[in-house]
Amino acid sequence: MSAVPAPDNHALLRVAAGPLVGPVLSRVVGMLAARAQCPIDRLDDALLLADAVAAHAPNFSVEGRLSVEVHADVQGLSLTVDGLRHDAGRELMAAAELPGVGNVLQRVADEVDEVDGAGLRIRLGFR
């Protein structure tokens, strides 16, 4: 019996900065995480990361548009936020700091990396 290839499990969102960023991003993250058989405890973490990105990234977008690429597989989920002003990756990271809690992105994600100064890659492992 031959192995069945895994389904293509990614999406590229290009959303106008505004009230739809949060609901759209959360639903796409939830859908892709479910298809990747994300454990339920990590699904909450994935949605928390999506909420943090949706709450802060539009403030740093270029031309009022936000681009987020979401990938999920059995190993985990990644969010790559693009379309930000130059050097805004660092600013987006700093904006996720909450008093008494700390930095939400760094506390929840397994990896957070700046991408070319104008983006952020966030990785959440499922294992």
The amino acid present at 9, given as its one-letter code, is: N
Count how many domains the chain has.
1
**25 within some domain:** yes
C-beta separation of 116 from 32 below 8 A: no
- Inside any domain, residue 38: yes
pLDDT of residue 2: 46
Cα(25)–Cα(37) distance, rounded to whole angstroms?
Answer: 18
CA 12 to chain centre: 11
Q: Which of 101, 81, 86 is nearest to 25 (CA)?
A: 81
Residue-number span of the structural domain to which 78 is assigned: 10-125
The model's pLDDT over 84-101, given as tens digits with 9 standing for 90+, comes to: 998 888 899 999 998 888
Q: In angstroms, rounded to a whole number, what is the distance separating the alpha carbons of residues 51 and 105?
A: 10
Q: Tell me, yes or no, whether 78 lies in a domain.
A: yes
Q: What sign does the CA torsion over 105, 107, 108, 110 have?
A: positive
CATH code for the domain of 25: 3.30.565.10
- Select from 126, 106, 109, 111 the least CA-distant residue to 40: 126
| Average pLDDT of the segment spanning 31-36 | 94
- Looking at residue 66, its amino acid is L
pTM of the full predicted structure?
Answer: 0.89
Within a domain: residue 3? no
- 5 located within any domain: no
What confidence tens digit (pLDDT) does each residue in 99-115 have?
888 999 999 999 999 98
Provide the pLDDT for residue 65. 92
pLDDT of 1 reads 46
Segment 38-96, tens digit of pLDDT: 999 999 999 999 999 999 999 999 889 999 999 999 999 999 999 899 888 889 999 99
Residues 6+ positions from 123 with CB-CB distance below 8 Å: 76, 77, 78, 109, 110, 111, 112
